[in-house]
Amino acid sequence: MAITSPASPRRSGRRHPLATAALLIVGLLATGGAYALATSTATAETTAHTAEMVEEGGKLFAANCASCHGILADGTAAGPSLIGVGALAVDFQVGTGRMPMAASGPQAEVKPVQFSQEQIDAMGAWVAELAPGPAIPAERYFAGDGDVANGAELFRINCAMCHNVAGAGGALTEGKYAPGLANIDPIHVYGAMVTGPQNMPVFSDMNLTPEEKNDVISYLRYIDENPSVGGFDLGSLGPVSEGLFIWIFGLGGLVAVTVWLTAKSN
Ligand code: HEC
Ligand code: HEC
């Protein structure tokens, strides 16, 4: 029993000509606002920098880094611009001993760390003062107390193709390599993901949320605390090296036994 009311005529013809435009603007503002709100709450919070830190950092930078990165950190032929890389990139590069770079090569080598954490933080503060960039996150984002199983899955999807499933590392093209990830300081794992050093991609908060990054860190920590249970791990390369092992030693042994048996019967 369909009831069609003759009292309600088609209204579309009577709409104000600006109604569609107004609706569009309201819609855009609402989605844009919601998006900004969602992204800003998903970002790990930043740590404060004092004026003394910035000043101290500027001096350290001029003495140790400016020769390659330029006195204003805007880059030279020997080193890239550091404007907008943030305190987190400085913490990763200097904190792992990659910077100050010693010799030019395909990839900055990991060397013994040359600065105290206070000095690294000071240089980070100075670089962060130049332009906004990724900051050191709140401690809970690299505490390593997250979901290990989820972290393992995220690691297999996002990292294993370069760093190997067990984080053993692997070779890349042009003399570059993805390093092994055993016993890396959690903040440097976080820093690597956010700043994407060298050939490593950047994992923004859109790809991996801060919580998911903590899960990945938790997985790496789990491997550190639970090393190989025994036997030969064969480079942790999985079925490839295990298959090769069986192929060479298993089949090789069978061939050897067969040759020996036939040799005896003659
Ligand atoms: C001998 C030259 C040299 C010196 C000295 C040097 N760097 Fe670098 N730096 C480089 C080069 C080249 C790269 C890029 C290559 C790479 O990442 O392997 C780089 C990359 C970086 C990056 C990464 C930039 C990014 O886009 O993420 C940071 C941060 C950095 N350097 C900070 C420093 C700081 C801080 C110092 C001083 C303590 C320093 N560097 C000293 C040559 C140098
Ligand atoms: C395309 C290959 C590639 C992928 C994918 C990749 N990385 Fe890397 N990673 C690299 C390379 C290359 C370096 C070395 C960069 C350098 O030395 O400047 C590196 C460095 C690192 C380091 C620093 C290790 C050290 O010795 O200080 C960590 C930690 C790290 N990666 C973690 C991860 C995690 C976690 C993921 C996944 C979320 C990931 N990487 C995905 C290539 C990759």
Check if 151 has its Cβ closer than 6 Å to any atom of ligand 2: no
Mean of pLDDT values over 156-174 = 86
Q: Is the pLDDT of residue 38 over 70?
A: no
Check if 216 has its Cβ closer than 6 Å to any atom of ligand 2: yes
Q: Are 203 and 194 in contact (CB under 8 A)?
A: yes
Which residues touch 249 (CB under 8 Å, ≥6 apart)?
none
Atom of ligand 2 nearest to the CA of 198: 18
Q: How far apart are CA 243 and CA 247, in angstroms?
A: 6
Nearest ligand, CA of residue 119?
A: 1
Atom of ligand 2 nearest to the CA of 179: 26
Q: How far apart are CA 141 and CA 212, in angstroms?
A: 9
pLDDT at 42: 45
Residue keyed to tokens 């090569």:
105
Q: How far apart are CA 175 and CA 32, in angstroms?
A: 44
Q: Are 129 and 50 in contact (CB under 8 A)?
A: no
Q: Which residue has the higher pLDDT, 232 or 168?
A: 168
pLDDT at 236: 66
Name the residue of 54, 93, 118 whose CB sits within 8 Å of the most ligand 1 atoms, as the mutation to test its pocket.
93
Name the residue of 104, 177, 200 whose CB sits within 8 Å of the most ligand 2 atoms, as the mutation to test its pocket.
200
Q: Which residue has the higher pLDDT, 171 or 204?
A: 204
Q: Is the pLDDT of residue 6 over 90?
A: no
CA 57 to ligand 2 center in whole angstroms: 27
Mean of pLDDT values over 87-111 = 89
For residue 43, count CB atoms less than 10 angstroms from its CB and return exposed for 0-12, middle for 13-18, buried for 19 or more.
middle
Q: What percentage of the chain exceeds 70 in pLDDT?
A: 86
